Amino acid sequence: MAKTLFELKGVYFSYLGKFPALCGVDLSIPEGSRVSFIGANGCGKSTLLQMLDGLLFPDKGIIKAFGAELKENNFNNEKFAREFRQSVGLVFQNSDVQLFCPTVKEDIVFGPLQLGLDKQEIKKRLERLVDILEIKDLLDRAPHQLSIGEKRKVAIASTLIIEPKVLILDEPTAGLDPLTSRHIIDLLIQENIAGKTIITATHDLHIVEEISDQVFVFSREKRIVRNGVPSDILKDTELLEAHNLVHIHSHRHKDGVHIHAHTHLEHHAQE
Ligand SMILES: Nc1ncnc2c1ncn2[C@@H]1O[C@H](COP(=O)(O)OP(=O)(O)OP(=O)(O)O)[C@@H](O)[C@H]1O
Ligand SMILES: [Mg+2]
């Protein structure tokens, strides 16, 4: 059986002590797995991902990573912090949080330079990612002047270039055109085959089956209400409806306008 990578027990967290964001989360994530989190806006997905990335810590309960409890104090130890940052990488939901250098190129190589990676190796990794993500023309531009999708590609590159064992992605395909989304998903699948653990939060149910072998569903009460394989979760319309994951949709069939729940997964090719 695969080793447990992350383990959360009875985790509570609130921002500034008054805005609850996680209210009793228990879960475990095996090494090398593909896991996704789905749920309504504000249910705690991004908070959880930031906790897995060692940026937030439980008010109550414990989080373990690689067998050891994750505590804020650990990150004052330079060796621990460095090893953790090299092992776990997060692509933020809002790319502006992640991009702060004068040029795209500087932003992408910032992490590996900080970690002291060999310059030739950084160049090799940069060229590969620039190629896959088709961002060559952006390298000398200022990140804050890019489109949302361009920023996301740069943010993804700046995390992937570190080659962490655990890749955490918050809404990786939001704002991306279909072909670019395809490239990113293919890239994530390749990384997983190569042994990396892939953890994503997404509203895009289309990608859930490809990017995960286990799905966790958050409720508005900011805890996990279900977890299972994507095929089981995605066919549970009642569950999806209860958690804002399908919408009531009006559209035209041959015989008139229908209003019904729509899962994003259904196509009307047969109509
Ligand atoms: N910086 C913050 N300060 C105060 N409250 C916050 C902050 N960030 C998030 N929250 C609150 O924490 C809760 C969980 O937010 P979180 O961003 O984790 O949700 P989410 O599931 O990622 O939502 P979305 O689908 O909109 O990205 C929400 O109620 C939100 O209002
Ligand atoms: Mg979020």
Across 98-119, average pLDDT? 94
* The pLDDT of residue 269: 39
What are the DSSP E strand ranges found in 219-255?
224-228, 247-253
Residue-wise pLDDT tens digits, 13-63 = 999 999 999 999 999 999 999 999 999 999 999 999 999 999 999 999 999
The percentage of residues in the chain with a pLDDT greater than 90, rounded to a whole number, is 78
> Residue 23 domain-assigned?
yes
CATH number where 142 lies: 3.40.50.300
* The pLDDT of residue 244: 81
Whether 259 has a pLDDT exceeding 80, the answer reads no
* The pLDDT of residue 271: 38
* The pLDDT of residue 134: 92
Number of C-beta neighbours around residue 242 at 10 A: 15
> Residue 72 domain-assigned?
yes
User: Which residue stretches of the chain are H helix?
Assistant: 45-52, 78-87, 104-114, 119-133, 148-160, 178-193, 205-211, 230-234, 237-242
Across 98-111, average pLDDT? 95
* The pLDDT of residue 248: 59
Across 140-157, average pLDDT? 94
* The pLDDT of residue 241: 86
* The pLDDT of residue 237: 87
**Whether the CB of 93 sits within 6 Å of ligand 1:** yes
> Residue 241 domain-assigned?
no
**Whether the CB of 45 sits within 6 Å of ligand 1:** yes
* The pLDDT of residue 49: 98
CA of 54 from ligand 2 middle (Å) equals 16
**Whether the CB of 34 sits within 6 Å of ligand 1:** no
Residue-wise pLDDT tens digits, 162-216 = 999 999 999 999 988 898 899 899 999 999 999 999 999 999 998 999 999 999 9
* The pLDDT of residue 258: 63
Q: How far is CA 109 from the centre of its chain?
A: 21
Extract long-range pairs of 254-257: CB within 8 Å, 24+ residues apart.
none
Q: Is 31 helix (H, G, I), strand (E, B) or coil?
A: coil
Domain that holds residue 57: 4-234
> Residue 220 domain-assigned?
yes
Among all ligands shown, which has an atom nearest to the Cα of 221? 1
**Whether the CB of 47 sits within 6 Å of ligand 1:** yes
> Residue 264 domain-assigned?
no
- Please state the domain count of the chain: 1
**Whether the CB of 46 sits within 6 Å of ligand 1:** yes
**Whether the CB of 41 sits within 6 Å of ligand 1:** yes
**Whether the CB of 223 sits within 6 Å of ligand 1:** no
Number of C-beta neighbours around residue 254 at 10 A: 5
> Residue 91 domain-assigned?
yes
Residue from 45, 49, 202, 243 whose mutation best tests the ligand 1 pocket (most atoms within 8 A of CB): 45
Higher pLDDT, residue 183 or 12:
12
Nearest residue by C-alpha to atom 28 in ligand 1: 42
Task: Using a cut of 0.75, tell me whether the model's pTM lies above it.
Answer: yes
* The pLDDT of residue 245: 83
Number of C-beta neighbours around residue 125 at 10 A: 19
- The number of C-alpha atoms within 13 Å of 101 and in the hemisphere containing its C-beta is 16
Across 237-261, average pLDDT? 72
For residues 119 and 128, what is the distance between their CA atoms, to the nearest angstrom?
A: 14
CA of 265 from ligand 2 middle (Å) equals 21
DSSP 8-state secondary structure symbol assigned to residue 72? G
* Mean residue pLDDT across the chain: 91
**Whether the CB of 97 sits within 6 Å of ligand 1:** no
Locate the ligand 1 atom nearest the alpha carbon of residue 222 and give its number: 14
**Whether the CB of 50 sits within 6 Å of ligand 1:** no
Whether 270 has a pLDDT exceeding 90, the answer reads no
Closest CA to 26 of 12, 43, 47, 14: 12
Residue from 12, 16, 47, 90 whose mutation best tests the ligand 1 pocket (most atoms within 8 A of CB): 47
Taking a 5 Å cut-off on Cβ, the residues next to ion ligand 2 are: 45-46, 93
Across 147-161, average pLDDT? 94
Residues near 186 by Cβ (< 8 Å), separated by ≥ 6?
none
> Residue 262 domain-assigned?
no
> Residue 240 domain-assigned?
no
* The pLDDT of residue 242: 86
